[in-house]
Amino acid sequence: MKSGNHISKQIISGLTIILVLNSCAVVKTPYFKTDYYKQTISRLDSLNPEINSVNDTLYAGFSRISITPDLTKKYDKRKEAKHNIIPLAGYGNRRGKPAEGIHDSIFVKAVALKSGNQTVILVSADILIMPPNIIDEVTSQLKPEGINRDQLFFSATHSHSSIGGWGYGFMAKSFAGKENINLEIWLISKMKMAVLSAISDLHPAKIGSANFKASPYTRNRLTGNSETINNDFSFLTVEQTGRKKAIIGSFSAHATTLGRTNMLISGDYPGYWQRKIEERYADIAVFFAGSTGSQSPVGKGDEFDNSKYIGESLADSVLNHLSKVKMSDKLTLSSLSLKINLPEYHIRITTNRNLTSRMSNRLMPLPKNVYLQTLGINNLMWIFTPGDFSGESALLIKKLLAAKDYDAIVSGYNGSYIGYIMPGKYFYLDHYESKLMGWFGPTLGDYIMELIELMNEVVISKN
351-378 residue pLDDT tens: 778 888 888 888 888 888 999 999 999 9
20: pLDDT confidence band, cut at 50, 70 and 90?
A: low
The pTM for the full model equals: 0.92
* Spatial separation of the C-alpha atoms in residues 388 and 437, rounded to whole Å: 9
Task: Return the SS3 of 53.
Answer: strand
Residues 112-137, mean pLDDT to the nearest whole number:
97
Residue 1's pLDDT band, with cuts at 50, 70 and 90, is: very low
Q: Are 258 and 303 in contact (CB under 8 A)?
A: yes
pLDDT recorded at residue 410:
98
Query: Is the model's pLDDT at 220 over the cut of 60?
Result: yes
For 420-447, write each residue's pLDDT tens digit. 999 999 998 988 898 889 999 999 999 9
Q: Which residues of 149-175 are buried (b: 16+ CB within 10 A; e: fewer)?
A: bbbbbbbbbbbbbbbbbbbbbebbbbb
Q: How far apart are CA 312 and CA 280, in angstroms?
A: 11
Q: What are phi and psi of 250, to 5 degrees?
A: -145, 130
What is the Cα–Cα distance from 344 to 185, expressed in whole angstroms?
31
| Contact call for residues 435 and 351 (beta carbons, < 8 A) | yes
What are the CB-based long-range contacts (under 8 Å, 24+) for 405-409? 405/379, 406/379, 406/380, 406/381, 406/460, 407/209, 407/211, 407/234, 407/379, 407/380, 407/381, 408/380, 408/381, 408/382, 408/383, 409/234, 409/250, 409/288, 409/290, 409/380, 409/381, 409/382, 409/383
